[in-house]
Each structure stands twice: as structure tokens, then as C-alpha cells.
Structure 1
């Protein structure tokens, strides 16, 4: 499961057809996103192609941007693929904008206060803003949007998980909304800054789900969706609500913004360099250096905040119930060599569930990781009773082969992760562990594996610029069936306590200690094998000016314009 820098968690109702526009989807791979290794890429970051000497932005033109994934739902409350977020960031404004790891600024909300007990956030809203359908933006719209996210009928996956303590929104005045929580929840502001919780038109939300169209207050309005091919947005001529940090006010410069869905890396890259596309997400690592050195183009490379691309070990069934076997598998894999061979040094080797650009990343946790030591892997397996080999060279115990199931879902695989998996499979075999890679369609992947739990390994990455992503990935009840990302099916009361306390405390040092404890325990128990840090590699022709990036490194096109 992964996004192209973006991959998707599939809608359990899609059953392989992907025809329903409001299915239950969730990011599970690299969503395009991030902070740079030492400094934060925020909404005011400019493209290297900008000409500070004085080109004047003009209002004209269509920018065509190629993405590696596809759009499977138009509703930001339902679909959490990176493709959805990249597109919807231009349609929907948020209440606030994230400007750094733990800093936020006004957007649709001009200011906010938090009650002493941390359970009520009061937002004062902008006046004079309208949705694309003419509906006025007010506190009622905030209430409708958040209520829609948590409504069971919406079947929201990721968006609902962002605000699990949400109780209600009170409209105390036309421009004042009180968001009430069941308990203190410090990640709320970051959650409200994401495209997944962008504010929607209450009029549009009142329409039947079969008639859904995305209607926000953003700089671009939805025009057309050709499923599997492209989505087209048009400039909102009445736009008046840019976030703090935008470089201009008023409408966007571009007439249109077209997102082309081009899953093949080579095809997408070739379309950029031949001029068919003016920008692309997911520049292939093998081609990144070529693009950086090529006249007329700009490469943007930023590490992704959130969860690394990790292999998750299901400790609830079969041999992986034994931590010794989990650690043996980890010790059997030469991760640095694999990553270097596949990604040519463009993606950092991971040593933690969190990426190193994520707040609360604890470098000392790597000491718990079972790194490449094949002889140690063999010793651990011997000690665990897997000390005999069958005729094919695989270990056996009580007449049973040490065999693990890692389903291969081609539609959800990006960034040559299937090549990484082949390397892991070969290295596991060298110590006597069999890894089966059944190739499955979407329906089988959902029903038999994600819902049915008939897997031992799953590979996932997840972009979100907050350490609260650890709660999403390891809280015991946050399984796929319950709209979460705990695909290792970890059931640890201690981890539950740490992530809950970290999310509710107002003491940053206490939260950091809790998050550090989770990182140490996850590696010690070998719930994951960290592989690499996803990197957002985006490329643009130098005729594209003014591109900015948000805290997740999603490109934002409000300030973008086309030079002659």
C-alpha cells in the first residue's frame, strides 16, 4: 500500500472496480510530503526557477501536472491518497495553515483560543468568503464539514482518525465556531490544517452521495473528472482567502489546472522532458540527477515527514508471534544495500518508524533495531526451534515450514517497491525463511488480507508532519477494519498509554518522551523493518514560476504562474 510519493489504501467496497467515487480509501505509502532534512519546507517556499530579478506574474494559461496515482474519490473526507490531497489542496481552504513542525497561522480562521481544560477550541472566522457554489462561508459550514467527517455514513478512514476525540461543533455566532472534544487533543490544529479536513460547502454536502462534487472556497474550482485519466480545475475568480504566507492576494494566476494520471514512471518523466507536461510528481530516482542537470527544468527533493516506508510484521499469527523470529527476519535483511541499489542514494535508509524530519524523531532508538547480521538471524531461528531444513533449504519446526505471506498488490505499489520486496525475499531465503508473494487484485487484497488478516507482512509508508502518526500506526484499536493504520496488529497497552498521553498533554517534553518510548519499543519488539525515507521528488519546467509547498510537501499552485 503506498502513494506515488503517493499510494492508496483501497476502498473496501471497491472490490477491484474502483468505480464508486466515495469509497473508503486511506494512504498507505508515501504520500508526497515533507520537511527538508534540516529546515521546514512551508507554504512560502519558492521554486528555484523563480526569477527574483523581476518577471511579473500574469493571469493566463493552463498548467498540466502529472501524478503517479489516480483519483479514486473526490471527497477529501473519504479518500486519503496523496493524489486526492494534492488536488484538493487547491479546491479546499483549511481553518489554519501549518507553518512549521509545531507552528500554525490563520487561514479561514483569523484567530483561535483553547479552553483551560484543552477540550474546546474557539475559532473566529473570516467574513465575506463564499464557496464556489455561492454559499456563504460561516460557522455552519465548519460544523457541517466536521460532522460529515465523523458521520458513519461517510465511512471516512483517515480523516476521521485525525479527530478521534471530536464531539461536536457549536455555532455560537455566524463567524464563531466552537470545536468541542471529549478529551484534550493537542494534534487537533495540525489535523485541521490538512486537505482531508478542508472546509466544504454545506449545500454540496447535503446532496446525495451519488451526486457529490467537491465544492470549497479555494483558489480553484472543480470542473471535470475523467476517472483514471485527469481532473480539471478552473480559477475561482472571486477568491479572497489565501493563507498567511501566500505571496499575493486575490484570484490565482492560472486559468486552469489539469492533473493528468500517469502511473508509469518512464512515461511521466518523458512527458515532462518532451513538454507534454509542465510538472510531475514522483520523478524516478534513477532520472533525478538527469533532470537536475538538464537545462530548462527544476528538481525539488524533500524528505517526507511521518512514517518511513516500513515492512510491518503481523505478530498475531504464525511464526511471527515469536519476537525472536521477527528479529531474525530483520537481521537477515541488508536494508542499506537494497535501498542503495534500487534508489541510487536518493532515498535515505530508514532506522526508525518515523522519518528523521518528523518532530520527536529519536535517533537513539536505532540501538533497538536488529540490523543486518545473517549469522545472528540463524542463531535466533535455531533458538526459536526452527533448527532443521527441508529439501528446499527452508527451516521447519514440528513438520511445518517457516513460510510467511506478503501479498503483492500491483495497483497500490509505487517507487519500485516490488524490487525491494524481491531483494528482501531473496535475503530471507538465505537464512531459511520463505516469503510467499501472491499477486492479488484489489478486491482480494481488501477482503482476504486487509480485512481477513491472512498476511504476515505488509509494506506501508504514511506522510503526516506530526509524531501523532505513531498513534495512527500502533494504537491497538486502530486496525484497518476500524479505520486505522495498525497493520502490524500491535496490541500493546503500554503503547496505547504512551500515544494517548502524548496526544493529550500540553507539555512538549512529556510528549517527546512518550513518542521516544514508542519508537524504542516498536524496534525492540520488531513490529517493523524500516526500509527507506520517502522523498518527494517533483520536477517542473522553468516556465512554471511561483510553485510553493505545504508542510507535507504537497505542491500548491495558488501563487504559480506561467512565464512566456
Structure 2
């Protein structure tokens, strides 16, 4: 059976759709957005955080992209971007893209197939562009070569069929970079082909984007500029939005309780609840004494997931495994399929009694608690779960001390494995098995924060990845998901849901229901005021 992911999509049809959709839009105006953090850099390929992606995705283009108006990222919503069409070889191992003509980088230089090759040669490690980090290298372990045929055609050669591959290229992080700009410059003064140019990036203060007058998509963007201001205090930024100081909140930054507060102050505001592919996980670095699996099992038994969901979200969060929880998640499993995994179901009191018994056998108890530091990122969606985890672990004689660190050092601490226990409210760019499994659990992956490595499991990753039949593939994915949770590898505590809010005069905002990493191009956003 051949992969038929939007084979040979054409630019002509796409242009008709855009022209129809653009009929009522107004041009001009400045969109004001608050930022809840300080981006570690502006380089999409080097970062893994929405803090970088949401403000800077608008500077770039991909080869293909998820439809920015679709409410769910799926294979069927992938549309052309810098590639105006594509086709697969008969054996589904080569995908060839026909590139658009007349596209320019923000500095006026022409975009060509060489830029595409440079970008993915860097991602796969064949070229040194001066990047400090390369977190998505594992996505492309099956990519063997990128070849060009003139300036307007490029081919990606895979080692085996891989149904997920086109989705990798559609992800918000998968921008095409310019060959002529050093990696160090992309961190602070990025150059793209996108609808907006960078005017300024002031760390811990603001980000200013201005309209790209030479954008290849005629009539886009509608906005003259986007102004971002960093507001680290949640109460301050929510109040500022409520009184009209901002037009749009940061993605999924608003809890159900805060959404109610906003509606009370600004009843005209639109707040849309979505599951955004962020899950809170328990990370245990397997160094003494945490290399004893009994300690991790005791921690798993101590977790009361329902309490997390009720306290932190008033029942809005969901419980699931590795993959994004259903019904929003395409591949995920729910608590009923995880009933035999310690801590997912059963009587909480009995679970914790079993946990205390385990720790007693290891020499810990009320008079000699196991003392740990719980590392987390200094943001509410990280810090609040960490505080609750510490409280729950206390019930089994584990005494935790919170260590909250700023975003600028958070990922570096995880990458260096510089922690014992951590809570990670980590996201994935795609609701896709290959992304989750290879990025977070593959041997040697940069984002494999617990150094997990199981060759047999890795072979199972490869098996599901190359399975073309979606029904068979989902069965394989569900079993892998269950087994990773049963082994206590990055136990999932909850899948978060949150609100993004905006005012009715802001049009073209469309947060999808299964990710918040792919729909921030902003080229279709316009203001009616």
C-alpha cells in the first residue's frame, strides 16, 4: 500500500482557496500580544519551547505546513508552503518537492533549493552551521540524503517508508533556514522568508515584528506589525489583557478559572479551551539511589492523578500515557488501558501503603525520609504541578525541596542530566508517534532526559514507524505506549488543556485542538477596529 499523503498538491488550487478566504479581510494595524516568558533564543531549529516558536514562527516558511485555519493537525491538513507541489517515488522512499520561484529572504537574497539542502544537512549533522543545539536530529534518523535538481527542485531520500515524514516537515519548528546566514546570527537576528521581519528582540522586555513588504504570498500579511511584551507575572498579564492592554494572550496561558475572571471583566473576550500537546511528567534520573527501580515504583504509586486534574484544572485536564490523550489525541490511550500500571488506577490509600512498604524495605521511613530536590521550570504550569507532587510524595516519606529555575537554564539542566527528580510540563511539536518515541525515548537522543535505552524497544519504534496500515500502526503504538508507562519511563501525570483568549476584533486566530506548536504564522490574522 502506498503512502498517499496529499500527493502532488498544487499551488493553483491553494491560491484559489486563499483568494476566497481573503475577501473580507482588512489590512493594517498592530497586534499586541503578551509573552509569559523570555525566549532562550530566536532560532527555531535550536529550541524546543513555545516561548521561541510562537513569536518567531512568523519570520519563516516551511516546505509544507499545517493548514493554519484547521482545528486539528493531521496528515490531511498539510498544505503547500515554499514547496508548491510534491510527489512520492513508487517505493515511498523518495519525496520530491517543486519549489516556488521568486521567493526572497528578508535581506533580499533569493531562496533556492540549496537553502533546503543546507537546512536538513545541518539537522542531520552533515553540515556545521554553528548551531549550539539540535533537538530534532532524531526525527530524521531515517533521512539518508537530500539532493537538488537545479534551483527549484529538491528530493529527500529515506532509508525505508515512513508515513510520518511529511508531518515532520509541516511542524512549526521545521523552518527553512538561509544557507548564507551563520547559525549564531539566527539566534538573535534571524533571517527568514516569512510574512514578518524582526525589528527588535530585547531579552526580558519585548519582541517587535514588522510586515514583510516583499512577502511571496501576495496580499499577506494583513497586519503592519506584531508587538510582544514579556510579562512574567501571570496576575499582571491577565489583568492587562482584561482591561484591553493586549489583543491576544499567549497560547493556552489561561486556566479555566482565569478564563472566568477574564469574562467577568471583559465579557466580550473570546476564550477557547484546547488540549495543546503538553503533558506533565515525572522525570527520575537513574543515578544512585534512584537507579533502584523500586524507588521509582514507589513514586509512581504515590501519584494521585485525579487530584492533579481536579486541583490544577477543575477537572479539565486529561489522563493518558506517552501519546496525547484521547479524544483530542489521534494516537493516545486513556486510563482504562493503563489500569495495570502502578498509580494510574486503584485506591490511592492502598497504593501509598504499598509505596511506604517499599521504602521501608529500603531503609526509609517517617524518622528517616528520602530527601530529594525536585527540579522544575519557573513557570506556573511547571511550578504548580511540582508543588503538588512534593506534597503527594511526602505521604510516602519522601521529603522534596522545590528547585525552580529560569527558562534560560532549564533545558540545559535537563540536557546535562543535572537533576535527580524533576517535573517536566513538556510538549511535542506533533501528535505523532515517531516524534514522541524517537525524540524522548530513543537511545542517545538529545531530549532523552532520563538516558533510557532499550534496543528491543527501539526496534519496536522502527516497526511502528514503517507500518503503512494506520490501523495496524495504531495497535503497535498503543502497546508501546502502555509498556513505556509500565516500565516507569517518564511517567505521564496528566495532559494539560488551556485557554487562549482574544478580542472579537481579532480575526484569523485558530488554535488547534491537539497542539500549540504549529499554528502561529500570523499571516492570516487581521484586525477590525
Same fold (TM over 0.5): yes
Q: 2: distance between equivalents of 1:544 and 1:448?
A: 38
Matched-pair contact (CA < 8 Å) for 1:309–1:461: yes
Correspondence for 2:342: 370
1:20-39 correspondence to structure 2 within 5 Å: none
Change (3 A) 1:439 1:138: closer
Shift of 1:360: 1.7
The answer on 1:552 being equivalent to 2:515 is yes
Correspondence for 1:22: none
Correspondence for 2:299: 329
Correspondence for 1:66: 34
Query: 1:113 aligned to 83, 87, 101, which one?
Result: 87
CA deviations 1:164-189 (Å, max 9, x no partner) are: 33333211122110122344433221
Matched-pair contact (CA < 8 Å) for 1:266–1:284: no
Q: Which moved more, 1:374-383 or 1:428-437?
A: 374-383
Correspondence for 1:229: 205
Shift of 1:81: 1.6
Matched-pair contact (CA < 8 Å) for 1:124–1:175: yes
Change (3 A) 1:535 1:67: farther
Shift of 1:449: 6.2
Q: 1: distance between equivalents of 2:375 and 2:183?
A: 38
What is the DSSP-based 3-state SS (H/G/I as helix, E as strand, rest coil) of the residue aligned with 2:353? helix
Matched-pair contact (CA < 8 Å) for 1:219–1:236: yes
Query: 2:121 aligned to 147, 151, 162, which one?
Result: 147
Q: 1: distance between equivalents of 2:133 and 2:82?
A: 23
CA deviations 1:438-473 (Å, max 9, x no partner) are: 455678867776415541344232132212233145
Q: 2: distance between equivalents of 1:283 and 1:332?
A: 28
Correspondence for 2:174: 197
Correspondence for 2:152: 175
Change (3 A) 1:506 1:253: same
What is the DSSP-based 3-state SS (H/G/I as helix, E as strand, rest coil) of the residue aligned with 1:77? helix
TM-score by length of 2: 0.83
Shift of 1:330: 1.9
Q: 1: distance between equivalents of 2:82 and 2:413?
A: 43
1:471-550 correspondence to structure 2 within 5 Å: 471-479=437-445, 483-484=446-447, 486-549=448-511
CA deviations 1:132-184 (Å, max 9, x no partner) are: 22222221221122223343532333233332333332111221101223444
Correspondence for 1:8: none
TM-score by length of 1: 0.78
What is the DSSP-based 3-state SS (H/G/I as helix, E as strand, rest coil) of the residue aligned with 1:154? coil
What is the DSSP-based 3-state SS (H/G/I as helix, E as strand, rest coil) of the residue aligned with 2:462? helix
Query: 2:425 aligned to 460, 473, 478, which one?
Result: 460
Matched-pair contact (CA < 8 Å) for 1:60–1:253: yes
Matched-pair contact (CA < 8 Å) for 1:323–1:525: no
Change (3 A) 1:495 1:84: same
Gaps of 5+ in 1: 1-42, 44-51, 242-248, 395-400
Shift of 1:94: 1.0
Change (3 A) 1:91 1:439: closer
Matched-pair contact (CA < 8 Å) for 2:298–2:359: no
Query: 1:101 aligned to 74, 79, 86, which one?
Result: 74
Q: 1: distance between equivalents of 2:182 and 2:376?
A: 39
Q: CA RMSD in A?
A: 3.0
Correspondence for 2:436: 470
1:114-133 correspondence to structure 2 within 5 Å: 114-133=88-107
Matched-pair contact (CA < 8 Å) for 1:265–1:283: no
Change (3 A) 1:442 1:266: closer
Correspondence for 2:18: none
Q: 1: distance between equivalents of 2:56 and 2:261?
A: 30
What is the DSSP-based 3-state SS (H/G/I as helix, E as strand, rest coil) of the residue aligned with 1:222? strand
CA deviations 1:243-272 (Å, max 9, x no partner) are: xxxxxx522111111122222111111111
Matched-pair contact (CA < 8 Å) for 1:339–1:420: no
Q: Which moved more, 1:169-178 or 1:490-499?
A: 490-499
Shift of 1:407: 2.1
Matched-pair contact (CA < 8 Å) for 1:312–1:457: yes
What is the DSSP-based 3-state SS (H/G/I as helix, E as strand, rest coil) of the residue aligned with 2:380? coil
Correspondence for 1:382: 357
- Give the total of aligned pairs: 488
Q: 1: distance between equivalents of 2:138 and 2:454?
A: 19
